[in-house]
Amino acid sequence: MQEQQGSPELLYGLFRSICGWAFESGYRDINEVKNLAKLAMIDVCKQKHASKGIFAQQMGIVTDLGISIRNVQKSLKDLDEIKDLLGGFVKVREVQKEIAILLNEAPRTTEELTYELSYLIRAPYDLQIRTMKAILQEMVQKGLITETNKDGESRFNACNAFIDLFNPADLTARVMGVKTMINAYKHSLTEPLLEVYHLTPQAAEKLQFEIQDFIMNLGDSTEAANSSATEETDPYYFYLGSFEQQTVKAPDNALDAIIECIQVRFTESEQPSCAQVFWFQLTEDQSLDVSDKVEEFIRERCRVYHRQDLRSNSQPYVFYFGLAEHHASLISEEI
């Protein structure tokens, strides 16, 4: 009961802080603030029911918040539009890549990084600083960069993993990417998925992007849910590869597929292929849940494209996917 009595004060303090920033930025529309607060509540409820079907999600929000189904449906449409705009506000992965490249040149402070990367964070300066701090702390937590403090000033440093991992023309970076994927395979927690489907090159390329987006969105949303959780989290790898089968015989296991995929990536750059490692800070149960959902998505989408392309000019494409524990300092996004 005491906690419930204090809740309005906590919420008031939070809203006051947000409105203070909005007021300083020239925002004066009270009705719009009320509407955004409602959308935020609906967004939270939607995440709570994310594992359900679309209609079940909507009815769950209706029950939780006591508003009409029409109100919920309109608000969800508004949320989709807002999230499209937020994608232009800050692309976290792109900022992370640029941070890694800059720190590879020399250590930098939060302010220096914000100054050099402000073009990637479309917001007032104080919000840019707060956003940069959050991104940097996440990278430190994941072991992607390190932080040192000297004379009361924090500076961020690159790890050895970053020798320009994001320049495809950098052979050293690609070799490091190979080591990361092999290392991830060596520490797999489950038996990796290995499937072959007949697809056109156009469908294969489209499907590769769909799978990568699904992993990124699912991993990010699951990771974000840990902000108020008490369970212990650790970095987990999710490795993915896809390529046109170059031999008559399909790979016998995931390691053979990884080696063949790397060969395609290095020698057949015009072929639609992908070799990527994702990492997220999760609980063990969450990592297994994410892995199961990704495997289900890969099988489902591959079957759809496979049926569509069965009678067209299709080729056999190999897909592999696995979950691994974090056991190395090497971190890579793409080979």
Query: Tens of pLDDT along 290-316?
Result: 999 999 999 998 888 877 765 567 888
Contact 189, 327 (CB under 8 A): no
116 in the same domain as 74: no
25 in the same domain as 77: yes
Contact 159, 329 (CB under 8 A): yes
189 in the same domain as 318: yes
166 occurs within a structural domain: no
Mean pLDDT of 210-239: 81
Alpha-carbon distance of 87 to 3, in angstroms, equals 36
- Residue 5: the pLDDT is 45
Range of the domain at 290: 171-325
331 occurs within a structural domain: no
- Residue that terminates a domain, selected from 56, 74, 89: 89
What global pTM score does this model have?
Answer: 0.53
Mean pLDDT of 189-215: 90
Structural domains in the chain (count): 3
Q: Which helix H or strand E contains 294, and what residues bound it?
A: helix 284-309
pLDDT digits (tens, 9 = 90+) for 284-296: 899 999 999 999 9
Alpha-carbon distance of 305 to 232, in angstroms, equals 39
180 in the same domain as 148: no
290 occurs within a structural domain: yes
CATH assignment of the domain containing 114? 1.10.10.10
38 occurs within a structural domain: yes
Instruction: State the residue for tokens 């940069």.
Output: 132
Mean pLDDT of 238-261: 87
193 in the same domain as 79: no
- Work out the angle between the directed axes of helices 30-48 and 2-24 (0-180°, nearest 10): 130
164 occurs within a structural domain: no
Alpha-carbon distance of 162 to 166, in angstroms, equals 9
Token representation of residue 34: 């009320």
Local confidence band at 191 (pLDDT 50, 70, 90 cut-offs): very high
C-alpha distances (whole Å) from 27 to each of 20, 31, 128, 183 are 9, 11, 18, 50
Q: What's the mean per-residue pLDDT of the chain?
A: 79
**pLDDT exceeds cutoff 90 at 67:** no
- Residue 211: the pLDDT is 92
- The single-letter DSSP state of residue 234 is E
